[in-house]
Amino acid sequence: MNRGTDPLTVLIIDDEEGIRRSSKRIIDDMGCRTLIAENGSTGLGILQTESVDIVLLGIASANMDGMEALSRIVESYPDTLVIVLCGSATIETAIEAMKNGAYDVIPEPDQLDQLQIAVNRAREKILLTHEARRQKPTKLPTLADLGTEQSRIHTIVDTLPIGLLVTDAQGRVVLTNPMFRRQMQVPETLDLGQPVHRYIQDDGLCRLILDISQGCRAELDDIPDYEFSPGSDTFLMAHGRPVIGDDQECQGAVVTFEDISALKVIDRLKSEFIANVSHELRSPLSTIHEQLAAVLSNMVGQAPSNEEHLISRAKEKTQGLISLIGDLLDLSRIESGAVCEEPKQVSLEELMANIIDFLGPQAAAKGQSLTLLRPSQPLPAIKADPLALESIFGNLITNAIAYTHVKGSIEVRMSRAGSHLQVQVVDNGFGMERRHLERIFDGFYRVKTEKTRYITGTGLGLPIVRGLVDTMGGTVHAESAPGEGSTFTVLLPGDLVPPG
């Protein structure tokens, strides 16, 4: 960028010669140095060789879409201010341009006063920024200083048993430790100062680190942990946090890399153990259950009531164990990724109607109303595993019946949410406190209150629901309050097929 009293350099990128000519005349009259490009590709080439302060960018240009050119300029030349020339574009286009990093938007670029005002405002910002930098009494320490600082902290970082990576606000790597380089097999010839994707080959993790570095994820609750595998039989968990300076601006990111390979092995062995034990137990338990049922049927009216009650309780308990084993096997298959079959075209409305018909007698036995609310317009079909869908919504509706009082109401609401289908299971049952809402999706976790402690169950229904929804790329969350009921919302993505 130009310094001091040097004239500003303005680059005009537009595919219309008339706009380029009129804009250049205005910019020349303002005492600026003017460069011209007839399309985005040419403009980006000029930016590689010239120091440009302001870019006047036509929203549509030959060879490259204007929005793409805007994104690449903002990413590669953060000190250059981009003023978008929208012409006859819509207000939505102008809003999108501002979201993508444009400094200003001019809807009518051929008007002299609007262009002069926008350029003057940009010039003032540039001069103020230059003056603020010039007046800093001392050079503030930056994250890049960590890379060369010879101190006890540097020694500690080098001996950490976990990988460490530090980036600056542009996503360039300014510090690594030996453990990180071993984990990522970073070549010794690769020095600091390169973009993060030169060190990490996982695109999703690189995007997350860049977001954190640029302050896009300032809220710590908004930063997820990221699990990935840099090589065969190796699994790492990345934890990223922004580095906030004294001026409360994001200066970069610090990311730690924990080796979880041993935990993954233990988790796999646990799943295999559960699956093997469950298979071995299910057959004898089923035999015991059938024999108890036969004994119970022969005892009717011929044995004391207390003996008949004991056999009946034993039969109920074996049925509970069989259900638990079935749920454990389902979870094991979900964790191994072998649960979902080849997706098929499914009418979710028809599938939900069948589930409601099947579970209707169960709700009617408690005097409950179980209602399916369809949208006014038919929903498109969805490509998914129908058995997985039946398990998801069968579990949710069964739970609603169990945790809703006698003569309560349960509604299943279906709607379309963009490219997703939304299904809500809403009841006016017992409800639960907010602190339970996340834990109910953990294995074996059950909410026990005075009203619910007698309700039987394995505590694995909701974990199965979340596992299946996750494998389908969807989301599930719960809302509830004590005495006001619960709402479980499932969003399912996929290739939607128009109805009929």
Read off the pLDDT of residues 98-140 as tens digits, 9 standing for 90 and up: 888 888 888 655 556 788 888 888 888 888 888 777 766 555 5
This model's pTM is above 0.75: no
SS3 311: helix
Taking alpha carbons only, the member of 412, 350, 410, 408 closest to residue 378 is: 350
The residues of the chain that CATH labels 3.30.565.10 are 344-497
Any idea how long the chain is?
Answer: 500
Taking alpha carbons only, the member of 493, 488, 350 closest to residue 416 is: 493
Looking at the predicted structure, is the pLDDT value of residue 30 above 60?
yes
| Mean of pLDDT over the chain | 81
Q: Tens of pLDDT along 140-181?
A: 555 555 555 555 677 777 788 899 999 999 999 999 999 999
End-to-end CA distance of the chain: 59
Average pLDDT estimate for 189-199 = 90
Q: Tens of pLDDT along 269-310?
A: 766 666 666 666 767 777 887 887 887 777 766 767 677 778
pLDDT value at position 465?
A: 86
The pLDDT > 90 percentage for the chain reads: 24
Measure the CA–CA gap between 414 and 348, rounded to whole angstroms: 9
Taking alpha carbons only, the member of 221, 213, 217, 300 closest to residue 251 is: 213
Using 50, 70 and 90 to split pLDDT, how confident is the model at 335?
low
Return the CATH fold of 344-497. Heat Shock Protein 90 (3.30.565)
Pairing of strands 163-168, 250-259: antiparallel
DSSP 33-84: EEEEESBHHHHHHHHHHS--SEEEEESEEBTEEHHHHHHHHHHH-TTSEEEE
Judged on CB neighbours under 10 Å (0-12, 13-18, 19+), 432 is buried
**Measuring CA to CA, how many Å separate 22 from each of 27, 123, 125?**
9, 20, 24
Phi, psi for 343 (deg, rounded to 5): -60, 145
The residues of the chain that CATH labels 3.40.50.2300 are 9-134
- 484, 333 contact by CB (below 8 A): no
Higher-scoring residue by pLDDT: 412, 453: 412
Which of 20-24, 229-233, 239-243, 448-452 has the lowest average pLDDT? 448-452
pLDDT value at position 326?
A: 66
Measure the CA–CA gap between 97 and 81, rounded to whole angstroms: 13
Q: Tens of pLDDT along 365-418?
A: 999 999 999 888 888 888 888 888 888 898 899 889 988 989 999 999 999 877
Return the CATH fold of 264-336. Helix Hairpins (1.10.287)
Using 50, 70 and 90 to split pLDDT, how confident is the model at 33?
very high
Q: What angle do CA 141, 143, 144 make, to 5 degrees?
A: 95
Average pLDDT estimate for 459-475 = 82
Looking at the predicted structure, is the pLDDT value of residue 323 above 80?
no
Is 9-134 in CATH node 3.40.50.2300? yes
Looking at the predicted structure, is the pLDDT value of residue 499 above 50?
no
The residues of the chain that CATH labels 3.30.450.20 are 143-259
CATH number corresponding to 143-259: 3.30.450.20
The DSSP 8-state label assigned to residue 435 in this structure reads G
pLDDT value at position 93?
A: 74
Looking at the predicted structure, is the pLDDT value of residue 87 above 70?
no
Measure the CA–CA gap between 10 and 90, rounded to whole angstroms: 25
